[in-house]
Amino acid sequence: MSDRFRRGAYYTLLWSVSLLFFTPVAWIIMSSFKTREEILATPPTLIFTPTLDNYIELFTQNQNFLQQLGNSVVMSLSAVVIAVLVSFLAAFCFSRFKPKGTNFLMFILLSIRMLPGPAVILPVFLMFANFGWKDQHIPLVLFYAMFSIPFSVWILKGFLDGVSVRFDETGLANGGSWFHVIFKVVLPQVKPGLIAAFIFNLIFVWNEFLFNFVIGGVQTQNIPYALAVGTYSDGGLNWTFIAALTSIYILPPVAFIYLFQKYLLAGMTFGTVRGEV
């Protein structure tokens, strides 16, 4: 009996910690169901009649919003699909053939992700401005793909190193081409790595602001861009808009970490640590 009680107390404690970390997010989600007066009330109101007006207004009154949301979805998906595919080939090459300079290339790849954002984007900005690529979807998507490659290569190489070379040899000995070996034999075995790379980079591009701001523009703007430049402020910040917007925008990443919790660790450490929590 006392053991059961202790267990109950322990679980309650864990749940409280989790809820404590979630409180600020819960607060913003709660605020999105308030009217403007309730949001700006002092002291803040805890009891109120929830209203969906903010969401209705967001979808109907604001043309930009749908465009920005569409940009976010299309750009992050296409960039990450390209990046993961290309990275898989390179990671396979690094893992199996270890060409000269593999370590150096892996190092260079990683160091790009270690550099503060403005330092990465500064020369790219000059290049984009000179070539007239600014504010266009395809160059921006390709840049995002480039930026998603390093971690994808690292994650996938980690997983590919775990697949025995025997599989390749068997496939080749049985008359399969390299194409067959790579896509039919090896690819299915690193599915967890592909998912980890995909999810991790998807969350990254989804959340990315600076690059979109600097080398994108009005046509390509996503939601973080809109938030940062204060698109939704007309004399002071429009908190009802922001609360509703944020609540919608953070849903996909949160859903991803619920659905793909198994892959979270591999993604967050780009494959240097594998396993589940």
- Residue 74 vs 265, nearer CB to other proteins: 265
Provide, rounded to whole angstroms, the least separation between the CB of residue 61 and other proteins: 20
- Cα–Cα dist 109/120, whole Å: 13
For residue 237, what is the DSSP state?
Answer: B
- 100 three-state secondary structure: coil
* Residue 116 CB, nearest approach to other proteins (Å): 4
Report the distance separating Cα 198 and Cα 162, nearest Å.
Answer: 19
Comparing CB distances to other proteins, the nearer of 165 and 228 is 228
Q: Give least dist CB 60 to other proteins, A.
A: 22
Task: Give me the half-sphere count of Cα atoms (radius 13 Å) on the Cβ side of residue 187.
Answer: 14
- Closest to other proteins by CB, 64 vs 272, is 272
Smallest distance, other proteins to C-beta of residue 237, A: 8
**Please, what is the minimum distance in Å from the beta carbon of residue 246 to other proteins?**
4
Q: Which is nearer to other proteins, 10 or 167 (CB)?
A: 10
When the beta carbons of 81 and 127 are compared against other proteins, the nearer one is 127
Query: Which residues, 6+ apart, have CB-to-CB distance to 242 below 8 Å?
Result: 227, 232
* Least distance in angstroms from the C-beta of 49 to other proteins: 19
What is the C-alpha separation between 123 and 103, in angstroms, rounded?
25
How big is the CA angle at 89 (ends 131 and 184), to the nearest 5 degrees?
140
C-beta closer to other proteins: residue 74 or 82: 82
Q: Which is nearer to other proteins, 61 or 104 (by Cβ)?
A: 104
Q: How many CB atoms lie within 10 A of CB 61?
A: 9
Q: Tell me the closest approach of the beta carbon of residue 255 to other proteins, in angstroms.
A: 9
Rounded to a whole number of angstroms, the distance between the first and last alpha carbons of the chain is 29
Helices (H), 115-233: 117-131, 137-161, 165-173, 178-180, 191-207, 210-215, 223-229
